[in-house]
Amino acid sequence: MDDAIPFMEGVLEPYAEVVYKGGREIGPADVADADALVIRTRTRCDAGLLEGSSVRFIATATIGTDHIDFDYCNTKGIQVTNAAGCNAGGVMNYVFSALYGVASRKGFSLEGKTLGIIGVGNVGKGVERVGSSLGFKILKNDPPRMEREGVYGFSSLEEVLSQSDIITMHVPLEPSTIKMADAAFFDRIRPGSIFINASRGEVVDEEALKKAAPKLGALIIDTWNNEPDIDRELLEMADIATPHIAGYSYRGKQNGTAASVRALARFFSIEPLYGFFPKTDILELESIKVDLKGKSQGEIASVLQYNYPIFTDDFMLRMDPKGFEHMRSHYQYRREFYID
């Protein structure tokens, strides 16, 4: 069990022996006699870790699954589950707090702007819904959905890049998306555009991004290549830089842990945990609705910053880039807000 997964202590102990360890520190000796693993993205689940073990089930309390070798797990009969959509609300909060925050700092208007969304899964859909309610024109690109659903309502990548004032990435990390944001990608972006990456670091070619940065209106980065050893030059170029915590809302972490426990409970027939959801008495961290209808850009920025003061996270990372992993693992989960 990754010891950074919240709300887990004491949940499984009545039914199993539980060993907690840092995600990066989990090794073959730790899993040799384990029946199940509950992890985050910091634990690479492949033959190097699992060969010869008794692991039958893996739950990752994350939406991403690129740290899991599915081919290997399938050949060994290991069932794998993830927490799809668990952090969609938190990432949506991040995108709009960052967008309105940087617009206020740099003094530009968002009125009439076009928001381009690349990757329209659970997170992208939330960004689309809120962006539409705030008056943005929406362009969206998602090749897998276009293949399944048809092209109506979607745009080509070329159209999104050349016609958007704001581009936000929400794609999974897989072979087709590694370094998709390369030199050719940034060449197509119109000068003065805002670029946001809150998906996975490796979807961006950071050398290409650094060359493109001077022409961007603003650069917002939450996910990086080579975490936690991030590129310091790119950190200095970013208008907002955070340590891969876009989805770290209190509700998002509750959702992720609940999904992992419920899946594990069903696999091992632990009926008392079928409907598990972490309880809390911390009322100030319960999700709230914010009403932005009829408000000016400045008023919206103020409401969003009050509910998620994103520049605090930015400041903390800049003060101690070497502390990236510590900040991420010991993050004080923030209250999630939702917008009609």
Looking at the annotation, which residues are catalytic?
200, 227, 244
Tokens of 249: 């809302």
Integer Cα distance of 1 and 225 in angstroms: 25
Distances (CA, A) of 46 to 28, 32, 80, 168: 10, 13, 12, 31
Distances (CA, A) of 152 to 147, 149, 240: 11, 8, 34
- Name the nearest CA neighbour of 80 among 273, 265, 277, 263: 263
Whether 66 contacts 44, CB under 8 Å: no
- Name the nearest CA neighbour of 66 among 102, 97, 39, 93: 39
Q: 179: number of CA atoms within 13 Å, CB side?
A: 7
Whether 2 contacts 22, CB under 8 Å: yes
Distances (CA, A) of 38 to 21, 239, 262: 11, 35, 12
Integer Cα distance of 138 and 18 in angstroms: 46
